[in-house]
Amino acid sequence: MRHTSRCLAVLTLLTLTGSAGAQPPAPPPKPASDPAAERADYIRSHYSKFEYRIPMRDGVHLFTTLYVPNDATANKRYPILLSRTPYSVSPYGQDRYKKALGPDIAYEKEGFIFGFQDVRGQHMSEGEFVNVRPPLPPKRGAKDVDESTDTYDTIDWLVKNVPGNNGRVGIYGISYPGYYTSAGAIDSHPALKAVSPQAPIADWFWDDMHRHGAFNLALAFNFFASFGKARPQPTSSEEWERFEHGTPDSYQFFLDLGPLSNADGRYFKNGIAFWKDIISHPNYDDFWKSRSLLPHLRNIKAAVLTVGGWYDTEDLYGPLHTYSAIEKLNPGTTNMLMMGPWPHGGWQRTDGTSLGDADFGFATSNTYLELSLAFFKHHLKGGEKPDLPEAMVFEGGVNRWRRFDSWPPKNVREARLYFQPGQGLAFTPPAGSGTSLFDEYISDPAKPVPYTAEITAGWSKKYMAEDQRFASRRPDVLVYQTEPLEKDVTFAGPLEADLWVSTTGTDADWVVKLIDVNPGKMPGWNRADDEAGKQNRGSQQTLVRGEPFRGRFRDSYSEPKPFKPGEPTHVHFVINDVFHTFQQGHRVMIQVQSSWFPFIDRNPQTFVPNIFEAKESDFVKATHRVYRSPTNPSFIKVNRLPAADE
């Protein structure tokens, strides 16, 4: 019996272990790490949250939350990094923490006192909210308040009342908070040492709302349908009530909307105050001019790092012009610009490896995270001065960062790309004579050219680097392209469209797109790659920059005027900067069209004083011509960056 028991024991052991020499079962694998959860845990472990209502000079109190390092003492002090926002500093309650405080966890581990403030009239702050509140120079009394004074008063209170601060303050923010960052730098408080406006609104007629007077329909409609609702009293509600289109297809939604005059009665029910302001001010009048920060960016003593994205569909004008204005109006102030291959806020919200049909080859956002942290550490903590350039800009097409001591680079050379017969494009003027030196197309508001092939209820983030073959194959899109380039060509800085056009209507839009055309034959490509679903960039027409222009504003953005049907007319407008190299073997392409829907609203092509009041009967087909004769040449002016051997 004892022998039998021993055999049973061995048999049981073999059954459990698989063999006499097997090891005990391995412990179960650890669950995969969750970086977001680990970051939230780190914040809860190392920071204490406080809530304050900070008094302004006119008696209004602004709700502010602070996250203070637990080891902040009289002997270990930290700088304050402040963000002012109209989008809520939620979550509310001293026991409820944000899951992220800075652009990256490296900020939180470095150690700052992080401050977040609901701006005047938003969420938990008192007072009246005014969209892009007009600056008020000079300030004559306690009742004269704007975003500059609110920032000054906030900083003054913080450095005097928050224990453990070192008397130095920085401000940063993206988009609308970027605007508050720029505004807060005006007449800088002595404690303000570093500001970083990122994708900042500079002038709302040009940022977000319009492009050369053409209305940004999908963007403005979707934004104000939610953001534009009134907040009659302070609220801790954290809900963002998005507009429901009832369809995933915004192209069809806005086409079905018809004239823009239908929007208020059909959807907004007279409840969106700023929408009424928009439709009441179709031209660049004092309403818009008073909201431009650019002439007011003066007396800035803090160091500035402006950040933007080459592929920002919302605020590309803002960072470029903010940097330029600060450079001009504040001699001696440290002023830097960083432009990367990013969509709106993409330097913080994505890794920056790719966008749409463009691949940048590496995580470009890491460069921003390293540079921005070095900027704040130096100016707020007094550390060693980092090697920061005046301009850190990403060069598309060859996918590399470049450093310059100014932007645009000082050594660029002006050149012109002329439209040629047979869809040609060249750096030499057109030749020839006759009456048919033009190209024409029929523009139909009932079938506008889409700005993207993507089906989305919102607005596309990827369209700014999207393959344009879906557009170039339409009969209402003109295409001009160079021969394959014999050597690399680099454009750096703004573009200018100089067109001679005519229309059988009395109004028209002109959309100009700069495109990088890949060679048709891609080395190594075969059918197996196609069947495997790999991307083939052969003949891909990658958008580099696009810009619409509302023709009625060709002489003045304040005083529009109609076209005379059939009369050749000169149209000139500036296109936002690019930094892109068209490699040897590629082609430079220009596309011209008259709709870009629904990113841009439809032009009825019948001149009406206020385009927002156009009726259905005003929307008519028209034949548009673009001239390319020696006497009426159409061209795109570019700034070429010479190659090293030139």
CA distance 611 to 20: 87
The H or E element spanning position 375 is helix 365-381
- Can you say whether the dihedral through the CA atoms of 480, 481, 482, 488 is positive or negative? positive
Per-residue confidence (pLDDT) for residue 370, from 0 to 100: 95
Name the band, by pLDDT with cuts 50, 70 and 90, for residue 70. very high
Average confidence score pLDDT of the chain: 92
Can you tell me the mean pLDDT for 560-582?
98
Angle, CA 254 vertex, CA 452 and CA 512 arms, to 5°: 40
Whether the predicted pLDDT of 4 surpasses 80: no
Name the band, by pLDDT with cuts 50, 70 and 90, for residue 645. confident
Please state whether 225 falls in left (phi above 0), alpha (psi between -120 and 50) or beta: alpha
Q: What confidence tens digit (pLDDT) does each residue in 451-489 have?
A: 999 999 888 989 999 999 999 999 999 999 999 999 999
Q: What confidence tens digit (pLDDT) does each residue in 78-121 have?
A: 999 999 999 999 999 999 999 999 999 999 999 999 999 999 99
From 8-22, 181-195, 589-603, the region with the lowest mean pLDDT: 8-22
Per-residue confidence (pLDDT) for residue 388, from 0 to 100: 85
* Percent of the chain predicted with pLDDT > 70: 92
Name the band, by pLDDT with cuts 50, 70 and 90, for residue 434. low
Q: Model-level pTM?
A: 0.92
Per-residue confidence (pLDDT) for residue 118, from 0 to 100: 97
From 132-136, 138-142, 315-319, 581-585, the region with the lowest mean pLDDT: 138-142
For the chain, the domains span: 37-136+145-203+291-404, 209-290+408-646
Name the band, by pLDDT with cuts 50, 70 and 90, for residue 386. confident
Contacts of 117 (CB under 8 A, 6+ apart): 54, 62, 63, 64, 65, 82, 83, 84, 85, 89, 125, 154
Per-residue confidence (pLDDT) for residue 279, from 0 to 100: 94
From 9-18, 387-396, 440-449, 600-609, the region with the lowest mean pLDDT: 9-18
Name the band, by pLDDT with cuts 50, 70 and 90, for residue 23. low
Whether the predicted pLDDT of 11 surpasses 70: no
Whether the predicted pLDDT of 143 surpasses 50: yes
Task: Look up the CATH superfamily of 209-290+408-646.
Answer: Galactose-binding domain-like (2.60.120.260)
Q: What confidence tens digit (pLDDT) does each residue in 491-505 have?
A: 999 999 999 999 999
From 299-303, 407-411, 432-436, 482-486, the region with the lowest mean pLDDT: 432-436
Per-residue confidence (pLDDT) for residue 394, from 0 to 100: 98
From 84-93, 379-388, 586-595, 633-642, the region with the lowest mean pLDDT: 379-388
Name the band, by pLDDT with cuts 50, 70 and 90, for residue 555. very high
Can you tell me the mean pLDDT for 562-574?
98
Give the per-residue SS3 of 521-582.
CCCCCCHHHHHCCCCCCCCCEEEEEEEEEEHHHCCCCCCCCCCCCCCCEEEEEEEEEEEEEE
Name the band, by pLDDT with cuts 50, 70 and 90, for residue 233. confident
Whether the predicted pLDDT of 5 surpasses 50: no
Whether the predicted pLDDT of 446 surpasses 80: yes
Can you tell me the mean pLDDT for 589-609?
98
Per-residue confidence (pLDDT) for residue 145, from 0 to 100: 95
The H or E element spanning position 402 is strand 400-404
Domain 37-136+145-203+291-404's class? alpha beta
